[in-house]
């Protein structure tokens, strides 16, 4: 056991977060996302039984978002013509604002197939049991500034 580490973060996930460098990306995928096929060029970490919001909150306690890009958090846009509500996006905005001063302004959206292409280039994919639709995201890692780290 370690102090100060959220218990939801497995040793495997902690190792991956530590290995990642500035600009590397990690996908937090909902239960419908094709995690194994999208993550075949990286590391796939299974977090079945956990949802995206609790993992996002735990990860952002340790993971600096990139300050050199405008939108270090990327969500998948709803496919045009599909009538789907995305209340989980409000939760993502709240969690991001808790950990990054840009808040909701740190979040951007890209088209579904563009999201898949970006996912294929990610360092890792976290496969969750999240049942909400359009609950996938890509986080881009930033740097820790020794002047501001406590």
CA nearest neighbour of 107 among 130, 63, 139, 79 = 139
Residues assigned a catalytic role: 22, 66, 116
The phi, psi pair for 43, rounded to 5°, reads -110, 135
Distance from C-alpha of 30 to C-alpha of 61, rounded to nearest angstrom: 20
Radius of gyration of the chain (CA): 14
d(CA 124, CA 139): 10
- The rounded Cα 114 to chain-centroid distance in angstroms is 16
């Amino acid at each position: 056991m370690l102090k100060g580490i959220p218990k939801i973060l497995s040793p495997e996930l902690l190792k991956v977060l530590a290995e990642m460098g500035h600009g590397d990306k990690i996908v937090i995928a909902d239960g419908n996302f094709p995690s194994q096929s999208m993550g075949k060029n990286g590391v796939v970490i299974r977090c079945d039984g956990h949802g995206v919001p609790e993992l996002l909150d735990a990860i952002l306690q340790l993971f600096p978002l990139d300050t050199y890009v405008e939108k270090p958090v990327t969500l998948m846009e709803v496919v045009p013509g599909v009538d789907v509500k995305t209340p989980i996006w409000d939760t993502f905005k709240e969690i991001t604002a808790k950990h990054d001063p840009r808040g909701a302004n740190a979040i951007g959206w890209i088209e579904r197939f563009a999201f898949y292409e970006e996912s294929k280039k990610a360092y890792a994919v976290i496969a969750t049991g999240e049942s909400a639709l359009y609950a996938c995201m890509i986080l881009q890692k930033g740097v820790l500034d020794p002047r501001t780290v406590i």
